[in-house]
């Protein structure tokens, strides 16, 4: 019970504005567009500024609103002043709200140099969205939520975790045990078995969660998986002292499981990757960042409520309370959109600075970097950097990359230099692509070749990288 109270207290430390900003930060551009369209439908205090009027002109109109009312047809304004005074008693600082340029209007800066990407229609819920909605309904602490979000954004289309827990822990500066505990929670989300690190783990999770009626199926997957996958049923029969009929019953139970729990969902809306940012280099070699958000609705506060403000007879207390709540929500949303944009911009600037060799010369020059490096550079929390970099893409002259691509583990070379594990992965892939298909390299041989190149990489690390790249073991790569 004390642990639950502690977790809840940690969550309550975040203000509604912080919660909103956190949720917007983790949204890719298409999801942001969809959310803002929903907000427009739900909040009458929000509207689209279709005419794209200048912010200064709109603010000027708001400032002279009282003059317009006083001069309108020579009408007496005593009642109107009373209405305004009544609202003032209700502690709403209308003037501050209406004259606040940041909260009154939101529009994207016009950038004619940015490349325009066609937007597909947003329809299907993506796998990350489905999992994140479940994560945010748990009683996990703020720290655990951060770990959970990072794990979810590293689950592939088949539903498997593609990042090691050690790498996740290093990136987020947390203990591997913390990441393991959060992963166990996610693996019980719908669909069951999501976030498994291997087929064996995926099947075992489903068998245990479904309270399998055939205990033998659990024992076979847990203790005799290699024999099972290679169909060495007679060997299993002898080891467990069971009959072939027993094995058939267990296999029948196992075949009911889903080896790809991520199937049925997509990682991206319409499976189309739309870059959130575009990085371009000018003739002087300087890099410029453009936000690819031209299609995001431009929001501002709807001024129609002024009539209710000025005509007390037509607005009940319930109506005024509703307007107050809607206005507050609208302000928070518009402020959060501004902050989201500025935060993503700052993170991208820091990434370019840290990975300048990548942008100058290409992916083979990427450097090892963790989230903390960027967090320290710009003075933000690791959790913020994690939310910004997950699920968002940047268009560069070398191609389109997810922002988290720029973060990787460090591998020490014999020369004492830090090398990104992405470079090691590229070496492994190149070796496998060029190997003799009749005599493919096993993981130990690949580790030995890497050692000759000056990289001390253990066989189990080679196996981990190979699995992350979805490359099968050597015996399955052999061509007869």
Report the pLDDT value the prediction gives residue 444, as an integer from 0 to 100.
Answer: 93
CA nearest neighbour of 423 among 409, 436, 434, 435:
409
**Residues forming CATH 1.10.10.60 domain(s) in the chain:** 410-477
CA nearest neighbour of 363 among 412, 414, 425, 411:
425
Q: Rounded to whole angstroms, how far apart are CA atoms 310 and 69? A: 9
- Cis-peptide, bond into residue 63, ω within 30° of zero: no
Report the pLDDT value the prediction gives residue 480, as an integer from 0 to 100.
Answer: 57
Contact 263, 124 (CB under 8 A): no
**Fold type of domain 127-186:** Arc Repressor Mutant, subunit A (1.10.10)
Q: Rounded to whole angstroms, how far apart are CA atoms 245 and 243? A: 5
Contact 308, 314 (CB under 8 A): yes
Contact 261, 255 (CB under 8 A): no
3-state SS, residue 155: strand
Contact 54, 314 (CB under 8 A): no
CA dihedral of residues 198, 201, 204, 209 (deg, nearest 10):
-120
- E-strand ranges in 404-465 read 410-412, 418-420
Enclosing H/E stretch for 435: none
CA terminus-to-terminus distance, the chain: 61
CATH architecture of 410-477: Orthogonal Bundle (1.10)
Q: What is the pTM of this model?
A: 0.68
Q: What's the DSSP call for residue 413?
A: B
Contact 182, 150 (CB under 8 A): no
Contact 16, 335 (CB under 8 A): no
Quick one: three-class SS letters along 35-69? HHHHHHHHCCCEEECCCCCCHHHHHHHHHCHHHHH
Q: Rounded to whole angstroms, how far apart are CA atoms 299 and 52? A: 10
Q: What's the DSSP call for residue 363?
A: G
| Residue 395 β-bridge partners | 278, 400
What tens-digit pLDDT sequence spans the chain (480 residues)? 444 444 444 444 567 888 888 889 988 888 898 899 999 999 988 888 766 434 433 343 434 334 443 444 444 444 444 443 444 444 444 444 444 444 344 444 444 444 444 444 444 678 998 999 999 999 999 899 999 999 999 999 899 998 889 889 988 999 999 999 999 999 999 999 999 999 999 999 999 887 777 889 999 999 999 888 888 889 999 999 989 899 999 999 999 899 999 988 877 665 578 899 999 999 999 999 999 888 888 888 887 765 665 566 666 778 778 888 888 899 899 999 999 999 999 999 999 999 999 999 999 899 999 999 999 999 999 999 999 998 899 999 999 999 999 998 778 777 667 788 888 888 999 999 999 988 999 999 999 999 888 888 888 889 888 888 888 888 888 875
Assign residue 470 a region: left if phi > 0, alpha if psi is -120 to 50, beta otherwise? Answer: left
In this structure, is the dihedral angle defined by the CA atoms of residues 321, 323, 326 and 329, taken in order, positive or negative?
negative
3-state SS, residue 290: strand
Q: What's the DSSP call for residue 105?
A: B
3-state SS, residue 396: strand
Report the pLDDT value the prediction gives residue 326, as an integer from 0 to 100.
Answer: 85
């Amino acid at each position: 019970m004390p642990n639950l109270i502690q977790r809840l207290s940690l969550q309550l430390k975040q203000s509604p504005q912080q919660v909103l900003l956190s949720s917007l930060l983790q949204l890719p551009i298409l999801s942001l567009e969809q959310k803002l369209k929903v907000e427009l439908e739900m909040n009458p205090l929000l509207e689209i500024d279709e005419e794209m009027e200048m912010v200064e002109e709109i603010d000027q109109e708001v400032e002279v609103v009282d003059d317009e009312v006083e001069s309108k047809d020579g009408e007496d304004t005593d009642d109107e002043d009373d209405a305004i005074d009544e609202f003032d008693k209700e502690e709403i600082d209308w003037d501050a709200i209406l004259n606040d340029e940041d909260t009154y209007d939101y529009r994207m800066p016009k950038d004619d140099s940015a490349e325009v990407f066609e937007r597909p229609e947003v329809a299907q819920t993506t796998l990350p969205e489905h999992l994140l909605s479940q994560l945010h309904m748990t009683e996990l602490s703020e720290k655990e939520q951060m770990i959970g979000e990072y794990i979810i954004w590293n689950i592939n289309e088949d539903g498997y975790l593609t990042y090691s827990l050690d790498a996740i822990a290093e990136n987020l500066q947390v203990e591997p045990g913390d990441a393991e505990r959060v992963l166990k929670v996610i693996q019980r989300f719908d669909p069951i078995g999501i976030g498994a690190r291997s087929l064996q783990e995926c099947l075992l999770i489903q068998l245990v969660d479904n309270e399998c009626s055939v205990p033998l199926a659990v024992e076979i997957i847990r203790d005799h998986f290699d024999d099972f996958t290679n169909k060495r049923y007679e060997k299993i029969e002898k080891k467990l002292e069971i009959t072939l009929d027993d094995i058939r019953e267990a296999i029948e139970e196992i075949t009911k499981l889903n080896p790809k729990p991520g199937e049925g969902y997509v990682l991206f809306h319409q499976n189309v990757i739309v870059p959130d940012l575009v990085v371009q280099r000018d003739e002087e070699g300087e890099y410029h960042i453009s936000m690819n958000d031209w299609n995001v609705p431009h929001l501002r506060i709807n001024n129609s409520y002024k009539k209710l403000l000025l005509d007390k007879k037509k607005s009940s207390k319930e109506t005024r309370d509703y307007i107050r709540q809607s206005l507050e929500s609208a302000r928070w949303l518009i402020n959060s959109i501004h902050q989201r944009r500025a935060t993503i911009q700052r993170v991208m600037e820091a990434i370019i600075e840290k990975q300048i060799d990548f942008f100058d010369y290409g992916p083979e020059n990427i450097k090892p970097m963790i989230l903390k490096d960027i967090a320290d550079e710009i003075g933000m929390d690791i959790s913020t950097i994690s939310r910004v970099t997950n699920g968002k893409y940047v268009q560069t002259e070398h191609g389109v990359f997810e922002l988290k691509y720029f973060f990787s583990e460090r591998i020490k070379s014999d020369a004492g230099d830090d090398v990104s594990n992405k470079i090691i992965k590229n070496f492994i892939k190149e070796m496998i692509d060029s190997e003799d298909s009749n005599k493919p390299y096993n993981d130990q041989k690949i580790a030995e070749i890497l050692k000759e190149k000056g990289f001390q990489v253990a066989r189990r690390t080679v196996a981990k990288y190979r699995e992350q790249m979805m490359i099968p073991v050597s015996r399955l790569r052999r061509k007869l």
